[in-house]
Amino acid sequence: MLLEINPLVLPDIGLVFWNTVAFLLLLVVLGKFAWKPILQAINDREQGIEDALAKADKMKSELAAMQSENEALLAKAREERATLIKEAKETADKMVADAKEKAKAQYDAIVADAQVAINQQKNAALTDVKNQVGALVIEVAEKVLHKELSNKAAQESYINELAEGVKLN
């Protein structure tokens, strides 16, 4: 027989028997009290790690969303501020321009009024002067005429003179 070449390749029934006993014992005892709790614990831990990682990922994405939201808000705020400033500036410019215009109009009106008043007063003054001059002229003329026409001859010559003038016309 081939198996009888060497006792090395001839299995002993004793060891086969005891090994079967030992293996089954190990399988049952370790299976129940070692492998089950160990594998369960490892699984639980892995599950925990997985959950934690998923949670962290979720938080991260949430944070990113929040950040982008914040950024959008910030951009919006910035835009609003810019518009506000722009509007304020426009209003201010407008107000300044309006004020300027108003001031100018008022100034113009005042100047015009002043001119009118000046003209009026000038005219009044001129009229007054004219009247006074007229009166003075009449007075002087009266006095002169009075003096010249105090004699009869002079009166007659003058009338003649005037009469001659009328003829010329």
Partner 1 sequence: MTFRSIKSLLVKTFSVFSLLLATQAFAGENHTPATTQAGAVAPVADEAHGAKKEGDFNVTETILEHIKDDHSWHMWGHVSIHLPVILKTSKGFEVFSSEKLVDEHHEPAVYKGNFDYKLMEGKIKIVDAAGNIDEDASKQLWDFSITKNVASLFVSVFILLVVLLSAAAAYKKTGVKSAPKGLQSFMEPIILFVRDEVAIPNIGAKKAGKYMPFLLTIFFLILINNFLGLIPFFPGGANVSGNIAFTMTLAVFVFIVVNVSANKSYWEHIFWMPGMHWSMKLFLAPIELIGVFTKPISLMIRLFANITAGHILVLSLICLIFIFKTVFASAIAVPFAVFIGMIELLVAFLQAFIFTMLAAMYIGMATEEHHHDAHGEAAHH
Residues that bind partner 1 (CB under 8 A): 5-20, 22-23, 25-27, 29-31, 33-39, 41-42, 44-45, 48
The least CB distance from residue 55 to partner 1, in Å, is 15
The least CB distance from residue 3 to partner 1, in Å, is 9
* Closer by beta carbon to partner 1, 11 or else 134: 11
The least CB distance from residue 56 to partner 1, in Å, is 16
* Closer by beta carbon to partner 1, 36 or else 100: 36
* Closer by beta carbon to partner 1, 42 or else 137: 42
The least CB distance from residue 34 to partner 1, in Å, is 4
* Closer by beta carbon to partner 1, 44 or else 113: 44
The least CB distance from residue 27 to partner 1, in Å, is 5
- Say if residue 127 is exposed, middle or buried (CB neighbours under 10 Å; 0-12, 13-18, 19+): exposed
* Closer by beta carbon to partner 1, 10 or else 116: 10
DSSP-assigned letters across all residues of the chain: -GGGS-GGGS--HHHHHHHHHHHHHHHHHHIIIIIHHHHHHHHHHHHHHHHHHHHHHHHHHHHHHHHHHHHHHHHHHHHHHHHHHHHHHHHHHHHHHHHHHHHHHHHHHHHHHHHHHHHHHHHHHHHHHHHHHHHHHHHHHHHHHHHHTTSHHHHHHHHHHHHHHHHH-
